[in-house]
Chains A and B, each alone.
Chain A
C-alpha cells in the first residue's frame, strides 16, 4: 500500500541551486497537490493539478514550477533555491478536486537551503 511516495526525503541545497522534488501516487487519482509546511504558518498550497495535463497556481507559487508528467506523477521544481524556501514539502492526491473527496498525503520532503 504505497499510496503517495515522495523523493527524496531529505535534501540540503545551496542558495541558487536547482532541484526537482518527485511525487508519485498509485491510487489512480486524478488530482494532485503540492504544499509547504512552515512552523507557525500551517500548510499552504503551492500548485495543484486538477487532472492530467492541467496545472494551476495555489496560494504561494512564486519561485516554483510544476510538471504533471502523467496521471501518476507530479513534480515540483525549484529553479534557483532561496533560504526562504527552506520548508517541509508535501505532495497529496485525491480522486478529484471535488470538495467532498479527502486528500491523501505523502510523508514529505525536508528541504534546507543554506
Chain B
C-alpha cells in the first residue's frame, strides 16, 4: 500500500528566504505526483503536476522535482512571501487513474514579515 510522508509537519521562515518542502513515498511505481496548496478554511489548489517521466516542473517561484527511484519529491519556493503561508500537500498517483491519489498529511508553512 502506498504511503506518503511529508516532513516537516510545520515550518516557519522569515520573508525572502528560499525553502524546500519534502515529500516521500514508499512505492516508486507511480504515474505522477502533484503538489497542492490549502489555505485555512479552503479547498485544495493544484500547484504543480509532475509526470513519472519528468524530473521537474516550474511555475513562477515554485519548482517541484521528482526522483522516482528514491521515492522523493521536493517543492522549492524561492523568495518566500507572507502570502505563501498555507498548508502544502503532495499527492501520489500510483493507480493510473485520478481516483488513485494518495495524499500526504501536509506541511504547514508560515512566512513571517
Contacts and interface: CB of A to CB of B under 8 A. Distances in A.
Q: Do A and B come from one complex?
A: yes
B103 A42 contact: yes
A41 interface: yes
Interface string B43-72: 111100101000000000000000000000
Contacts of A105: 43-45
What class of interface size applies to chain A in its complex with B?
20 to 34
Contacts of A107: 41-43
B97 A45 contact: no
Contacts of B105: 40-42
B99 A33 contact: yes
B106 A99 contact: no
The SS class assigned to the B binding surface is: strand
B22 interface: no
A99 B98 contact: yes
Interface stretch (A12-20, A63-71, A75-83, A90-98): A90-98
Interface residues of B, number: 27
A101 interface: yes
B59 to A, nearest CB: 12
A42 B49 CA distance: 19
A29 B44 CA distance: 17
A72 interface: no
A96 B98 contact: yes
Nearest to B104: A42
A102 B82 CA distance: 26
10 contacts: A42-B4, A42-B102, A42-B104, A48-B98, A90-B43, A92-B43, A99-B98, A107-B42, A108-B41, A108-B42
Closest 3 CB pairs of A and B: A105-B43, A102-B46, A42-B103
